[in-house]
Amino acid sequence: MKLSFRALVLLACFSASGLLAQGETMTLSAAEPGDEQTLFFEKEIRPALIKHCYQCHSKEGDKIKGGLLLDTRDATHQGGDSGPAVVPGNLNESLLYTAIAYEDTSLEMPPKYKLDDDTIAAFRKWIEMGAPDPRVESKDEERPVQSYTNTIDIEEGKKHWAYQVPMKPTVPETEASRKWASNEIDHFLFTRLAEEGLEPAPDADAFALYRRLSFDLIGLPPRIKASLAFAEAYAEDPDAAVAEAVDRFLATEQFGERWGRHWLDVARYAESSGKELNALFPEAWRYRDYVIDSFNRDKPFDQFITEQIAGDLLEADSPEQQGEQLIATGFLAMGTKGLNEQNTRQFRFDVVDEQIDTTTQAFLATTVSCARCHDHKFDPIPMSDYYSMAGIFLSSETLFGTARNQQNRRATELVSLPAGFPAGGPDKSLAEMIDLEFRAQETRDEYTAVIEEARQARQAGDSDAVTRARIRTIGIANRLGATEAQLALYDDEGRRIPRAMGVRESGDPFDSQILIRGEEDNATEERAPRGFVQVIRTNDEQPIPDDESGRLQLAQWIVSPENPLTARVFVNRTWLWLFGEGIVRSVDNFGTTGDAPTHPELLDFLAVRFHEHELSVKDLIREIATSRAYRMSSTYREDFFVKDPENRLLWRAHPRRLDAESIRDAVLAISGRLELDPPSGSVISRIGNGYVGRNVSEEQIDTESNHRSVYLPIVRDLLPESLHLFDFADPNLISGKREVTTVPSQALYLMNSEFALQSADAMTRLLIEDWELRGPRLGSTAFFLAYSRPPTEEEKRKTSAYFTRFHEVATSSGIDPEQARLLALSSFCQALFSSAEFRYLH
């Protein structure tokens, strides 16, 4: 990104005035690979290696060719006679990629066929992310053909902590903990700290705490008057002030937008299919709004789960409730789709695999999909369990609604909603409908004419003309598919028909065959009866009737009070979203390769309390946010750091960078540009059906909007820059915990992007328009807007020095003095939201 004059002056003045702490903005650090990257290997890479490579390049293969082994990490890095097969992070030096992409005619693997585009793209992504690979040098662990019968000791597996039903522990209350604690949560933390010779950090000051509450609960900076009122109340009665603030934030519409976005990360929400074809999902926004509304209404979490898995199978008291439940099943339809897959059976199994993976990770933090090709390598989950679940989803139809064309062989219809639901786009006039019908018929006639041309050319023996005609038919068919898809959105009077993504019963339920290595063309005669994961027993599992898919019974099994994982997993996610780290840090993986809980008794206490409060998410948040632990400052102590460098025992608050949405929304809010009213539908619903990069351009998607970031279009592989730069969740994967990086492009964006410049100018206008009211307090007002606190005396001095220096540089460059004054104020505003303090919670 090229720096403008304004950004160069801004950077120079930052250094001269000392307004920003040294090194805070331009730090470069690399993030460690997360759990989701290892899971990416297990889901995308290992199965492909087994299927396409192990026969010739594994210890158990027919013959090792080229001296190359690909069945362990070290062997893959070492490579064979030609050099390293994989160089993490370096695509050009990774010969494996060169071979599978057919980039070198002397090195094409597999030699008899080229892998499909999606598989090649997965290898590319894997190498670019650093080639995370859990495989070790062990012959037994890397057999190319795994047993597909149950060889796992399920009873032994049940001894793992996560498979034990939570029991409410005795609160470890002591005389010392009573002096500090605000509620029962605090006793668990205080006692654990005391055992290790640690103690809690002092409470955060009122302004910092209120800012933390505001961003954590609604994702926006607090208003100045509210901050001042909180500080006054906090000085008199901290417990009462915090409780009142929490209740007020939970009651706002913005709460659902903030916490709904958390769940959308887990649900891998996106408005396109991703992969090679990347078709738009014009009705995805309905699921987004369903999630936001569910959090605002404090829908019980068991109901929230059941609706997403089996909403179409539930009774409803009204058409509105019925439609809401249908929309909820979009959870199962939202994943990536390889729409150009030629093999129908392969496509179905891939969709089902994605559904199993999402369902079990989202609700159970269990990676069942790792048992698709072989018994799970780490957890007590045999292949038969995977295919028991596969039968449930194979017995359901997934409806995502994409326009049919020559490349999209997997188009589906959508779920019809009851009358009265809002349309995803504007109605069409009668003239527009006639025009659309005319274009459709014209395209059909054109298609018929070209087919006739091809027939005549074939009879005349003109092969070149036949080829040209066939090429033309592809383009014509694609236009026809898009036009007919548009027509299908409207009734005869031009009114948009409300439909949604979702699932429904197939009408012909069946048990799945077990596939050797997960290959659809390598099925055994054995079928796995539809059911659930054996190691997770609830003792109240409902049998699956022969004429039902089993989705309803699956949902009931997941939400059972006896399920040891569901409540634990969600309260752990909630803890992460409020503290920055989970009690179990591997929030999507409670298996044997995941982290153990740092406070197991507290985790169980919260899980049981969650049930006691009838699975109310707001009650859970209220209990955690009103704890004394949540109030702690991020004050650093060297002696405590030596004992607990990662702050696992929570002796202080974790300093946290704001997520991408909060940064963007905060900039809009403090500049007076934020539109709080939610939009109707989405950018994608207004575009309609289409294919990114084909008949839908990036410019059509990347439209300006001052709505909250949760409403921006989330198109796979084409995220808005303001979100992508600041580590937005990858919508191709389940993202229980986002990675956090600090790279120069982030600072450059806040210093130099059009969005930053426009926001700084708007904030300047906001301050100047109220000049008479604020007068000499303008600098303090700007600090309050950005940091939710008044400036210190030192900051006031540095601010004055900044204005003086900026004026000198600007006027010496020939800028009009009055213009220089406005530019100085604007750049000052920009300096505030470009700083580290603006981006971090302490």
User: Is there a domain that residue 147 lies in?
Assistant: no
Beta-strand pair 840-841/656-657: antiparallel
The amino acid present at 372, given as its one-letter code, is R
Q: How far lies 427's CA from each of 287, 493, 551, in Å?
A: 21, 9, 36
Residues 6+ apart with CB under 8 A from 356: 368, 369, 386, 389, 390, 393
Partners of 722 in the β-ladder: none
Partners of 398 in the β-ladder: 503
Q: Which long-range contacts (CB under 8 A, 24 or more apart) does 298-301 make?
A: 298/616, 298/617, 298/618, 299/617, 300/614, 300/615, 300/616, 301/559, 301/570, 301/610, 301/615, 301/616, 301/617
Over the stretch 633-671, which tens digit does the pLDDT of each residue have?
999 999 999 999 999 999 999 999 999 999 999 999 999
- In this prediction, residues 810-820 reach a mean pLDDT of 83
Partners of 83 in the β-ladder: 80
The amino acid present at 840, given as its one-letter code, is Y
Of 142, 172, 202, the residue that ends a domain is 142
Of 640, 657, 674, the residue that ends a domain is 657
Rounded Cα–Cα distance for residues 611 and 623 (Å): 13
Q: How far lies 426's CA from each of 490, 680, 685, in Å?
A: 10, 10, 10
| Intra-chain end-to-end CA distance of the chain, in Å | 30
Q: Are residues 395 and 521 in the same domain?
A: yes
- HSE on the CB side for 311, CA within 13 Å? 27
Q: Are residues 305 and 334 in the same domain?
A: yes
Q: How far lies 360's CA from each of 390, 530, 701, in Å?
A: 12, 15, 32
Instruction: Provide the domain count of the chain.
Output: 5
Residues 6+ apart with CB under 8 A from 8: none
Q: Cβ distance 548 to 509 under 8 Å?
A: yes
Q: Are residues 381 and 476 in the same domain?
A: no
Over the stretch 132-143, which tens digit does the pLDDT of each residue have?
887 765 434 433
Q: What is the number of other CB atoms lying within 10 angstroms of the CB of residue 153?
A: 11
Q: Are residues 506 and 573 in the same domain?
A: no
Q: Cβ distance 830 to 750 under 8 Å?
A: yes
Rounded Cα–Cα distance for residues 232 and 587 (Å): 37
Rounded Cα–Cα distance for residues 169 and 38 (Å): 34
Residue 104 has pLDDT above 80, yes or no: no
User: Is there a domain that residue 706 lies in?
Assistant: no
Residue 774 has pLDDT above 80, yes or no: no
Over the stretch 682-707, which tens digit does the pLDDT of each residue have?
999 988 888 898 888 888 998 789 99
- In this prediction, residues 393-401 reach a mean pLDDT of 95
Residue 493 DSSP class: T
Q: How far lies 691's CA from each of 330, 421, 592, in Å?
A: 20, 26, 41
Rounded Cα–Cα distance for residues 437 and 447 (Å): 15
Q: Sort 495 into a burial class: Cβ within 10 Å, 0-12 / 13-18 / 19+.
A: middle
User: Is there a domain that residue 316 lies in?
Assistant: yes
Helix (H/G/I), strand (E/B), else coil: 80? strand
Q: What confidence category does residue 144 fall into, taking pLDDT thresholds of 50, 70 and 90?
A: very low
Pick from 162, 311, 180, 13: which is nearest to 629 by CA? 180
Beta-strand pair 499-500/523-528: unpaired
Over the stretch 711-726, which tens digit does the pLDDT of each residue have?
999 999 999 999 999 9
Over the stretch 437-486, which tens digit does the pLDDT of each residue have?
888 898 889 889 988 888 888 888 888 888 888 888 888 887 887 788 77
Rounded Cα–Cα distance for residues 233 and 251 (Å): 19
Over the stretch 568-598, which tens digit does the pLDDT of each residue have?
999 999 999 999 999 999 999 999 999 999 9
Q: Sort 241 into a burial class: Cβ within 10 Å, 0-12 / 13-18 / 19+.
A: buried
pLDDT of residue 3: 54
Rounded Cα–Cα distance for residues 537 and 548 (Å): 21
Q: What confidence category does residue 808 fall into, taking pLDDT thresholds of 50, 70 and 90?
A: confident
Rounded Cα–Cα distance for residues 527 and 388 (Å): 8
Q: What confidence category does residue 109 fall into, taking pLDDT thresholds of 50, 70 and 90?
A: confident
Q: Are residues 316 and 243 in the same domain?
A: no
Residue 19 has pLDDT above 60, yes or no: no
Over the stretch 288-309, which tens digit does the pLDDT of each residue have?
999 999 999 999 999 999 999 9
Q: Cβ distance 397 to 622 under 8 Å?
A: no
User: Is there a domain that residue 265 lies in?
Assistant: no
The amino acid present at 585, given as its one-letter code, is R
- In this prediction, residues 55-84 reach a mean pLDDT of 76
Q: Are residues 50 and 128 in the same domain?
A: yes
User: Is there a domain that residue 274 lies in?
Assistant: no
Q: Are residues 308 and 402 in the same domain?
A: yes
Please provide the average confidence, as pLDDT, over all residues in the chain. 88
Partners of 742 in the β-ladder: 29
Q: Cβ distance 558 to 309 under 8 Å?
A: yes
Of 114, 142, 170, the residue that ends a domain is 142
Partners of 602 in the β-ladder: none
User: Is there a domain that residue 345 lies in?
Assistant: yes
- HSE on the CB side for 89, CA within 13 Å? 4
* 30 token code pair: 């690399």
Q: Are residues 549 and 579 in the same domain?
A: no
How large a percentage of the chain has pLDDT more than 90? 55
Over the stretch 339-394, which tens digit does the pLDDT of each residue have?
988 889 999 999 999 999 999 999 999 999 999 988 888 899 999 999 999 999 99
Q: What confidence category does residue 799 fall into, taking pLDDT thresholds of 50, 70 and 90?
A: confident
Q: Cβ distance 668 to 706 under 8 Å?
A: yes
Rounded Cα–Cα distance for residues 709 and 660 (Å): 8
Q: Are residues 751 and 818 in the same domain?
A: yes
Pick from 690, 689, 684: which is nearest to 712 by CA? 684
Q: What is the number of other CB atoms lying within 10 angstroms of the CB of residue 314?
A: 16
How large a percentage of the chain has pLDDT more than 70? 92
Q: Label residue 447 left, alpha or beta by phi (over 0 means left) and psi (-120 to 50 means alpha).
A: alpha
pLDDT of residue 25: 39
Q: DSSP secondary structure string, 425-443?
A: S----HHHHHHHHHHHHHH
pLDDT of residue 805: 84
User: Is there a domain that residue 20 lies in?
Assistant: yes
Q: Cβ distance 735 to 264 under 8 Å?
A: no
Rounded Cα–Cα distance for residues 420 and 680 (Å): 14
Q: How does 73-87 read in b/e, with b if 16+ C-beta sit within 10 Å?
A: bebbeebbeeebbbb
pTM: 0.86
Pick from 741, 751, 694, 742: which is nearest to 718 by CA? 694
Q: What residue numbers bound the domain in which 329 lies?
A: 300-417+502-559
* 60 token code pair: 């158990």
Residues 6+ apart with CB under 8 A from 505: 312, 313, 395, 396, 397, 548, 549
Helix (H/G/I), strand (E/B), else coil: 461? coil
Q: Are residues 763 and 833 in the same domain?
A: yes
Q: Cβ distance 145 to 60 under 8 Å?
A: yes
Over the stretch 26-64, which tens digit does the pLDDT of each residue have?
333 333 445 667 777 877 888 788 778 877 887 766 566
pLDDT of residue 121: 84
Over the stretch 263-289, which tens digit does the pLDDT of each residue have?
999 999 999 999 988 999 999 999 999
The helix-helix angle for 566-579 and 344-364 (nearest 10°) equals 70
Q: Are residues 413 and 554 in the same domain?
A: yes
Over the stretch 146-195, which tens digit does the pLDDT of each residue have?
444 457 889 999 999 999 999 999 999 999 999 999 999 999 999 999 99
Helix boundaries (H) for 590-743: 600-612, 617-625, 628-631, 638-643, 660-670, 683-687, 698-701, 721-724
Residues 6+ apart with CB under 8 A from 525: 513
Residues 6+ apart with CB under 8 A from 629: 185, 186, 189, 200, 650
Residue 221 DSSP class: P
User: Is there a domain that residue 698 lies in?
Assistant: no
Q: Are residues 752 and 815 in the same domain?
A: yes
Location of structure tokens 């037994």: 140
